[in-house]
Structure 1
Amino acid sequence: MLDAALIKECADPSLKPAIVEQFVAAAGSTDPLAVTVKSGGRLILVPKAKSADEAMTIVREHAGKAVVRVGLTQLPAGLGVKDAADVRPDLVDGCENLRKGTSMFAKVLRIVAKWYGNPKSEDVFPQIFEDAVYAWKTGEFEGVSVFQAQDPGDEAATPSREHPRQSDTSGDNSSDDTSPENPQENSSVGSAEMRIDLSRIGGK
């Protein structure tokens, strides 16, 4: 079990501590130096790292050639890095790994929740969580590479497509999204047209 102080200090604040614990228990490791290497779906046996330097040596040896997962959250190593030598050693720092891993997992949760239509019922969350963990382990969800995918962000938390009226009052972001369109619609359909007509009548 993760230390509560570590979760409070390092985990993504958008995730409840209980969710962080469940995530690490389901997809992570209790060892901050843990390195897992897979190639072609097969697990490659690597020596157990006894120090951060040893862990990073293993990571750099396999990054770019195989799927390498590191640390408490089994964070994918080498994402967006062209040279294995550029992989940062903070991957094996417990706090930093937890910070990056939970932040990325929160994004994966939002991606999955959006696919489900962002349901508000807590009864659906276990299924969303299970699918998010599976997506974390495989790197994909419904054909989308979740680690490279764009974060749906606030959109995932706002049912803007299914329930536009609710989203209008749910927050500032949704109102900002609709504000450029509504005045134009109102001006072409409502009061502005009436003003034009009135001025023409007045001119005659």
Structure 2
Amino acid sequence: MLDAAMIKECADPSLKPAIVEQFVTAAGSGDPLAVTVKSGGRLILVPKAASTEEAMAIIRQYVGQAVVRVGLTQFPAGVGVKEPADLKPDLVDACQNLRKGTAMFAKVLRIVAKWYGNPTSKDVFPQIFEDAVYAWKTGEFEGVSVFQAEDPGGSSPINQAKTKDEQADGPEHSDADADPDQSPDRDPGKARIRIDLSRIGGGK
């Protein structure tokens, strides 16, 4: 669905490419012009947009009256917009949508990770990711409206965990994962994305 070049150019750099792919697969759409409209928890059938103009017309028709999600990441169209006329076509531009969507999802991940106490254990990440995807789809997490909430910032552990694909690569090397330089037999292409966990928590 997403090629590596597009992820590198457009996705938020705070997310590993594998996490970007997992996010779009779990919560997004393969169609950059996709518009999903829900009201009262029910899906409203809307015409399939064949152009940017058609997509924007549907979005403007429903924003403010229903929950409207758009594009590759199913970005919430009404966030930060006061009037439908303020909505811009970049919502359905594949690169811009991926940029906005992954930046927002990174914030949601940080909100969820903070609620969990910002754990550094790789075993916790799948649960954090799952909760973040659910929060993305519903717009809420533990009573907080995640799209309007402040970004907690900080060095959340969202990139220190292994994704599902990496977990399937082979046996765990927990000591080597913390410092790739100590693992001479590891594939350097994979070691490059490892993060030194010893820097977190005062070197402990």
Structure 1 gaps of 5+ residues are 158-165, 171-204
By relative contact order (CA 8 Å, sep 6+), the higher-ranking structure is 2
The CA RMSD over aligned residues, in Å, is 1.2
Q: Provide the aligned length of Structure 1 versus Structure 2.
A: 161
> 1:19 corresponds to which residue?
19
Letter in 2 for 1:47: P
Cα distance per residue 1:78-103 (max 9 Å; x no partner)? 21212111111100000000000000
Structure 2 gaps of 5+ residues are 158-199
SS of the residue corresponding to residue 80 of structure 1 reads coil
> 2:187 corresponds to which residue?
none
SS of the residue corresponding to residue 29 of structure 1 reads coil
Cα distance per residue 1:112-162 (max 9 Å; x no partner)? 0000001101111000000000000000000000000000101645xxxxx
Identical pairs, percent:
80
Within 5 Å, give how 1:20-169 maps onto structure 2.
20-154=20-154, 156=156, 167=201, 169=202
SS of the residue corresponding to residue 135 of structure 2 reads helix
Assess if the C-alpha contact under 8 Å between 1:111 and 1:156 holds in 2: no
Within 5 Å, give how 1:162-177 maps onto structure 2.
167=201, 169=202
TM-score (norm 2): 0.77
Q: Distance in 1 between matches of 2:37 and 2:17?
A: 28
SS of the residue corresponding to residue 68 of structure 1 reads strand
TM-score (norm 1): 0.77
> 2:7 corresponds to which residue?
7
Larger CA Rg, structure 1 vs 2: 1
Larger helix percent: 1
Q: Distance in 2 between matches of 1:125 and 1:137?
A: 18
Q: Which runs of 4+ in 1 moved over 4 A?
A: none
